[in-house]
Amino acid sequence: MAGRIIVTGGAGFIGSNIVRALNARGRDDVLVVDRLGRDAKWRNLLGTTVTDVLHKDTFRRLIRDDALGDDVTAVIHMGACSATTETDADYLLDNNTRYTRELCAWCLRHDVRFIYASSAATYGDGRRGYDDDPARLPDLRPLNMYGFSKHLFDLWAWREGLLDRIVGLKFFNVYGPGEDHKGEMRSVIHKAYGQILEHGRVRLFRSYRPEYPDGGQVRDFVFVDDAVAVTLFFLDHPELGGIYNCGTGKARTWLDLARGVFAAMGREPEIEFIDMPPELRDRYQYHTEADLARLRAAGYDRPFTELEDGIRAYVERHLGHPDGPFGGRR
């Protein structure tokens, strides 16, 4: 592939892992777009080779002015506000929906491959299933404004007839190195590791639905290496388009996750159940599980990492290893 690859959100969690994977392929002509601010997110780029790091607002102006240049091969758009607790709807609509529309339109005008991050949050409570057939999009009811902002772009791309030319990935619960800066939005694996070090136990939310015991709520946990592999598969296959789930297709409980962290740390499990904040109880997903039929039909045949194996790799590569590729737990 001739020409630069742009990774928006390239200093963030999934984005920085994509940058590293591109470098591992010998690609150093990568432009990172992000808003670094004053936190430690910049550390995710340590050890990478990129041509520049451009502020998101500057990049957006270049897109609007059509002044980015004609040497771009692909845009991998991971940049977004991913906080499921964010309540500023106007901000989310501008940052997650309109920005993505502008970038998509620019890519299509310039024949640039466009791959973007959607989210499993678009599925809402899951009662309508996890079928990623675009014809099912109008049926979905996200539970929070973040999911709605992602859903609106998916709907727009479908209604405009663009999904044969672009790829959207509905990421499920991604975990792994590079998420330290995400605060409360980092994975429970990251949080659990810190809780075990400090208190010797893990705290999980109680269930408020009788069909799920405490800790029996289930999610589809996907290791970041797999999220990157799926993304690069579609980079390598520009003939493919559509929206695809990116998860393991195998739901696991929060108890499985907590026990996996204890095992990776060589400790006996000690788990405490706590009340869920009232404001989350009506917006909480009790069950997520990716339907992988369309992803497999598209030709992606690589197996996904088992939860315990991913947790062990995460602890050994990063959380318990300060000299790891992301500089250790911060």
State the catalytic residues: 146, 182
In sequence order, the 6+-apart residues with CB closer than 8 A to the CB of 171 are 14, 117, 118, 119, 120, 222, 227, 246, 247
Are 149 and 93 a contacting pair, CB within 8 Å? yes
The angle formed by the CA atoms of residues 246, 323 and 200, to the nearest 5 degrees, is 75
Q: What's the CA gap between 55 and 38, in Å, rounded?
A: 13
Closest CA to 131 of 286, 251, 295: 295
Is the dihedral angle over the CA atoms 223, 227, 228, 229 positive or is it negative? positive
Angle between helices 99-109 and 56-64 (to 10 degrees): 50
Is 216 within 8 Å of 209 (Cβ atoms)?
A: no
Q: What is the dihedral of CA 195, 197, 201, 205, to 10 degrees?
A: 10
What distance in Å separates the CA atoms of residue 315 and residue 310, rounded to the nearest whole number? 9
